[in-house]
């Protein structure tokens, strides 16, 4: 859905709820080369709606790799599992940051990491630079103003 079609109030709500961070890789919008996007957790083509409960803030990379997918394969058990849904699940139940890497703690976490390519070399390099500058991972007291 084009950016202009989502009401500004709804866009602000999603950004504030996510504290300006991609809800998948946790990169803050201030630390990304381009503005984050709103991701329909259930794509419009699958009957998803443009409502708060179906929207997540995503960096361009995460949103591009996710596309309209709602499931992927857990590489450990070779089973199809749903992708991580930040509206109904807690990030820390499925993922852990170790250095600059994002580690999957569950089948959902592992499948999401694989599909979104969260640990590709270029994405790891970006997060390593942010770790070195103290901008990643987010601290408990992170807010929508970001780290800059």
Domain ranges (residues) in the chain: 3-132
Judge contact between 119 and 105, C-beta under 8 A.
no
Spatial CA neighbour of 32 closest among 40, 20, 41, 49: 20
Residue 66: count other Cβ atoms within 10 Å of its Cβ.
23
Provide the residue-wise pLDDT of the chain in tens; the chain has 148 residues.
344 589 999 999 999 999 999 999 999 999 999 999 999 999 999 999 999 999 999 999 999 999 999 999 999 999 999 999 999 999 999 999 999 999 999 999 999 999 999 999 999 999 999 999 999 998 765 543 333 3
Total-model pTM = 0.90
Whether the ω angle into residue 143 lies within 30 degrees of 0, i.e. cis, is no
Residues 2, 147: Cα–Cα separation, whole Å: 28
Got the DSSP string for 77-91?
TTEEEEPP-TTTS-H
């Amino acid at each position: 859905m084009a950016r202009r079609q989502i009401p500004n109030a709804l866009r602000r709500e999603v950004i504030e709820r996510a504290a300006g961070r991609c809800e998948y890789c946790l990169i803050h919008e201030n630390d990304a080369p381009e503005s984050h996007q709103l991701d329909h957790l259930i794509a419009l083509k699958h009957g998803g709606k443009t409502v708060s409960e179906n929207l997540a803030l995503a960096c361009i990379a995460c949103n591009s790799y996710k596309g309209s997918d709602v499931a992927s394969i857990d590489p450990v058990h070779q089973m199809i599992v749903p992708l991580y849904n930040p509206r109904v699940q807690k990030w820390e139940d499925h993922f852990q940051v170790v250095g600059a890497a994002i580690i999957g703690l569950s089948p959902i976490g592992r499948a999401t990491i694989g599909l979104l390519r969260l640990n590709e070399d270029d994405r790891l390099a970006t997060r390593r630079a942010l770790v070195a500058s103290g901008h990643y991972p987010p601290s408990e007291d992170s807010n929508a103003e970001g780290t800059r």
